[in-house]
């Protein structure tokens, strides 16, 4: 086999989609004889799977490329490739950052990784494979081994063109995977012992929206719910405009669908939402939250929000804070706006001073920490269903699992309950997790 005995190290930046792409690249290379390395120094092939959605992970990717250039000098036989969104966006321009780079591979071409590695291995110089191919959704092998939780991509790309977002440019237009393939992959994972499935897509709830012959998103959820042995289903990331009444009702009647919805709102001001081209208003968003909570009152709602978008006034920002107080999110992923080359917003002045962006971010995070802590403390005394994932990374001698609402719980327990669903009494709510005792 082409990669027999060779070791591969993958450094991943960014979101769950990227983590899943890295898992699939490793699985693909494993099927060609490669195996994993724990650090770049011991690897024959080093991949940096980049993210261009925000400035910070992109800068981190450039900084690691500097270190890899040094490593290539010490070990010229090592093959170094850049994958992911920065690869798609910058393409051959990446050789300006790292002249010793061996290849660049966009997210639409990861199925070609073994072939590209072979080309480099046999003397090909500077291979650059980017762009998206028409035709069927490319299937990659499943990562091996039993995992309690596994991600399954059901769609890729995005048609929404939010004015700040580079995803449609670097991940292409929406493409949904045939439901029969999705269901077959999930059945196979569940047969191997997986209990929880996370359905992935940049705009996951727009699944097959333009294909009348395919299952709708809620129909797909119902089919997955009926797979024997599956314990939990989650999905991310949803767009408010594609959250249909039928999907909302699914939270109420599908037993395996967890009571957690990640629903980015990005801003609380209609003026900002319009410039962002979000295609929903704050009123639309609040109506969805109300409807979700009518169906499942204890549903956990998490979101993404951005501060410092061009033209965001103090009054606009106050509306974001006010929306947070009304909704009381269970958790929030908050970011400062940074212009992404190639987006519409990047053509506008980035007119919010860095200090103001930082102040707004900190105010928002202080508020969210208070809300999260208050909600976590309220759970003390309740009994929760917890899926045990492994040993706690932060609390010695304890094991760690998640509630259906996606809260982390640490508690005492033995190896016999690993991978099982157990009942845990919550004894204390902390800032980022819960403590509990096995019932």
Extract the runs of DSSP E, i.e. beta strands, from 91-219: 103-105, 127-129, 149-153, 155-156, 175-176, 196-200
Return the range that interacts with ligand SF4 (CB under 6 A); candidates 56-64, 82-90, 116-124, 162-170: 162-170
Choices 16-24, 25-33, 153-161, 190-198; region in contact with ligand SF4 by CB under 6 A: 153-161
C-beta of 172 vs 413, nearer to ligand SF4: 172
Q: With left for phi above 0 and alpha for psi between -120 and 50, is residue 333 left, alpha or beta?
A: beta
**Should residue 165 be labelled a site residue for ligand SF4 when binding is judged by CB under 6 A?**
yes
**CA triple 337-234-229, angle to 5 deg:** 160
- Minimum Å gap between C-beta 162 and ligand SF4 is 3
Question: Which of the stretches 20-28, 128-136, 158-166, 407-415 binds ligand SF4 when contact is defined by CB under 6 A?
Answer: 158-166
| Residue from 251, 246, 260, 254 nearest 217 by CA | 246
Dihedrals φ, ψ of 89, to 5°? -75, -45
CA–CA distance, 263 with 245 (Å, rounded to integer) = 14
- Subset of residues 168 to 187 that bind ligand SF4, contact rule: CB under 6 A: 168
- Element holding 30 (H helix, E strand): helix 16-30
Q: Give 171's contacts (C-beta < 8 A, 6+ positions apart).
A: 17, 85, 88, 107, 108, 156, 157, 158, 202
Tell which phi-psi region holds residue 128, choosing left (phi > 0), alpha (psi between -120 and 50) or beta: beta
- Given the complex with ligand SF4, which of 117 and 288 has the nearer CB atom? 288
Select from 158, 224, 273, 288 the one that contacts ligand SF4 (CB under 6 A).
Answer: 158
Q: Measured from the CB of residue 15, what is the shortest distance to ligand SF4 in angstroms? A: 10
Using the minimum distance from each CB to ligand SF4, give the nearer residue, 46 or 261: 261
> Given the structure tokens 């956990």, which residue do they identify?
300
Size of the site for ligand SF4 (CB under 6 A): 10
Which residue from 160, 225, 363, 398 is in contact with ligand SF4, where contact means CB under 6 A?
160
Angle of helix 217-225 versus helix 245-253 axis, rounded to 10: 10
Q: Using the minimum distance from each CB to ligand SF4, give the nearer residue, 34 or 329.
A: 329
Rounded to the nearest whole angstrom, what is the least distance from the CB of residue 406 to ligand SF4 in the complex? 20
Which three-class secondary structure state does DSSP give residue 226?
A: coil
Alpha-carbon distance 205 to 238, whole Å? 5
Region from 32-40, 161-169, 357-365, 366-374 binding ligand SF4, contact rule CB under 6 A: 161-169
Distance CA 146, CA 195 (A): 10
Tokens describing residue 46:
């080093």
Stretch that binds ligand SF4, among 127-135, 159-167, 178-186, 356-364 (CB under 6 A): 159-167
167 binds ligand SF4 (CB under 6 A): yes
What residues does 48 pair with on adjacent strands? 11, 82
* Least distance CB 159 / ligand SF4 (angstroms): 8
CB nearer to ligand SF4: pick between 202 and 250: 202
Residue 168 beta carbon to ligand SF4: minimum distance, rounded to whole angstroms: 5
Of 215-244, which residues contact ligand SF4 (CB under 6 A)?
239
Closest separation in Å from C-beta 199 to ligand SF4:
15
Of the pair 52, 82, the CB lying nearest ligand SF4 is at 52
By CB under 6 A, is residue 161 in contact with ligand SF4?
Answer: yes
d(CA 208, CA 30): 31
Residue from 203, 205, 238, 334 that binds ligand SF4 (CB under 6 A)? 203
CA of 104: how far to CAs of 18, 21, 92, 171, 381, in Å? 16, 15, 7, 15, 53
202 lies in the site for ligand SF4, by CB under 6 A: yes
Residue 341 gets which letter from DSSP?
T
Q: b/e map of 225-239 (b: 16 or more CB within 10 Å)?
A: eebeebbbbbbbbbb
Which segment (163-171, 214-222, 226-234, 409-417) binds ligand SF4 by CB under 6 A? 163-171
Query: Which is nearer to ligand SF4, 83 or 266 (by Cβ)?
Result: 266
Q: Which residues bind ligand SF4 (CB under 6 A)?
A: 158, 160-162, 165, 167-168, 202-203, 239
């Amino acid at each position: 086999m082409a990669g027999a005995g060779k070791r591969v190290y993958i450094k991943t930046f960014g979101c769950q989609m990227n983590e899943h792409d890295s898992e699939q690249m490793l699985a693909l290379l494993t099927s060609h004889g490669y195996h994993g390395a724990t650090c770049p120094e011991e690897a024959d092939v080093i991949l940096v799977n980049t993210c261009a959605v925000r400035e910070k992970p992109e800068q981190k990717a450039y900084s690691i490329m500097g270190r890899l250039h040094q490593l290539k000098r010490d070990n010229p036989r090592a093959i170094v490739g850049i994958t992911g969104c920065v690869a798609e966006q910058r393409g051959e321009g990446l050789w300006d950052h790292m002249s010793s780079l061996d290849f660049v591979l966009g997210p639409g071409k990861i199925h070609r990784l073994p072939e590209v590695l072979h080309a480099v291995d046999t003397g090909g110089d500077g291979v650059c494979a980017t762009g998206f191919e028409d035709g069927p959704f490319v299937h990659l092998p499943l990562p091996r081994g039993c995992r309690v939780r596994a991600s399954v991509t059901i769609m890729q790309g995005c048609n929404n063109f939010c004015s700040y977002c580079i995803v449609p440019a670097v991940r292409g237009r929406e493409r949904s995977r045939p439901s029969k393939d999705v269901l077959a992959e999930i059945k196979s994972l569940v047969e191997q012992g997986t209990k929880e499935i996370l359905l992935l897509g940049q705009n996951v709830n727009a699944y097959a929206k333009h294909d009348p012959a395919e299952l709708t998103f809620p129909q797909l959820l119902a089919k997955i719910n009926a797979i024997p042995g599956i314990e939990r289903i989650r999905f991310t990331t949803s767009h408010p405009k594609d959250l249909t009444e039928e999907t909302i009702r699914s939270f109420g009647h599908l037993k395996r669908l967890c009571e957690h919805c990640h629903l980015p709102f990005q801003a609380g001001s209609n003026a900002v939402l319009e410039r962002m081209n979000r295609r929903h208003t704050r009123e639309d968003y609040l109506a969805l939250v109300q409807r979700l909570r009518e169906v499942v009152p204890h549903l956990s709602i998490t979101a993404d929000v951005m501060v410092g978008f061009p033209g965001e006034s103090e009054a606009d920002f106050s509306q974001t804070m006010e929306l947070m107080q009304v909704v009381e999110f269970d958790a929030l992923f908050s970011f400062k706006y940074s212009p992404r080359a190639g987006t519409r917003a990047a053509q506008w002045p980035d007119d919010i001073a860095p200090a103001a962006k930082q102040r707004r971010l900190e105010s928002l995070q202080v508020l969210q920490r208070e809300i999260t802590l208050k909600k976590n403390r309220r759970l003390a005394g309740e009994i929760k269903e917890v899926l045990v994932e492994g040993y706690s990374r932060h609390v010695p001698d304890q094991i760690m699992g998640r509630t259906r609402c996606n809260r982390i719980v640490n508690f005492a327990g033995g190896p016999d309950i690993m991978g099982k669903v157990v009942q845990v009494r919550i004894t204390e709510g902390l800032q980022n997790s819960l403590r509990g005792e096995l019932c």
